[in-house]
Amino acid sequence: MIDVKNLSKSFGDHLVLDDISQHIHPGEKVVVIGPSGSGKSTFLRCLNLLELPSKGTITFQGTVITDPKVKIDQVRQQMGMVFQHFNLFPNMTIRKNITLAPVRTGLMKQEEADAQADALLQRVGLTDKADAYPSQLSGGQKQRVAIVRALAMKPQLMLFDEPTSALDPEMVGEVLDVMKELARDGMTMVVVTHEMGFAREVGSRVLFMADGKVLEEGPPAEIFGNPQHPRLKDFLSKVL
């Protein structure tokens, strides 16, 4: 589904991603873990070109999206993204937050989008919040709405950038539950997270990143049960 070849990214002289090649298959749940500053978020943000790679190519469903001629807005319509800080639009109601993109991009009419928003909100148990504003919601509710907002575009792939890191501990569960349900439904997901429990339970493949490289990858059972790389062993000893 996504093919990443020799991806490098530097900010000034600082090399954040160092020659990464990865392939993400349809239906796969790839969980990216690693110490902070390892380049995990930058890697994720490169996938929908919120960061432009310095070198390398990214191919999404046969289209080389790193080509400057590609209409990036159309590509992004097929990739949902969930941010650490939710980034809901505070000037709109929850319903409007969810329907704005599908309507403006011509994916659906306002009535269809409204109906879909209600259905999605019901799925995450927030039906009564449709007419509320983001400032009236708790962190966990905001993040569930953010997930719904991304899903409203009917994406092929969902990117999660530390979706629970800004949440109070008691709200982490409700967001992870929504993500687990999404995973069960077969969504292709790339998740940057510090939630090792989630990685173990949901991940079909875990990437361990450090210093801009993928140092080790494999199924969660092996990454967590039988780590090879000393950096990974060290990392796991600190977080588990």
CB of 223: closest distance to other proteins in angstroms?
28
Nearest to 160 by CA among 43, 34, 26: 43
Specify the stretch interacting with other proteins by CB under 8 A; choose among 26-34, 87-95, 173-181, 194-202.
87-95
The answer to the question of residue 15 lying near other proteins (CB under 8 A) is no
The answer to the question of residue 136 lying near other proteins (CB under 8 A) is yes
The answer to the question of residue 50 lying near other proteins (CB under 8 A) is yes
CB 189 within 8 A of CB 160: yes
Specify the stretch interacting with other proteins by CB under 8 A; choose among 45-53, 112-120, 166-174, 181-189.
45-53
Residue 227 main-chain phi, psi, to 5 deg: -70, 140
CB of 152: closest distance to other proteins in angstroms?
8
CB of 154: closest distance to other proteins in angstroms?
11
Beta-strand pair 55-60/14-24: unpaired
Q: State the DSSP string of 195-212.
A: -HHHHHHH-SEEEEEETT
Nearest to 156 by CA among 82, 60, 84, 69: 60
- Distance, first Cα to last Cα, the chain: 32
Which residues, numbered 152-191, are part of the site for other proteins (CB under 8 A)? 153
| Number of residues lying near other proteins (CB under 8 A) | 32
Contacts with other proteins, residue ranges (CB under 8 A): 48, 50, 52, 68, 73-81, 83, 85, 87-92, 100-101, 104-105, 133, 135-136, 146, 149-150, 153
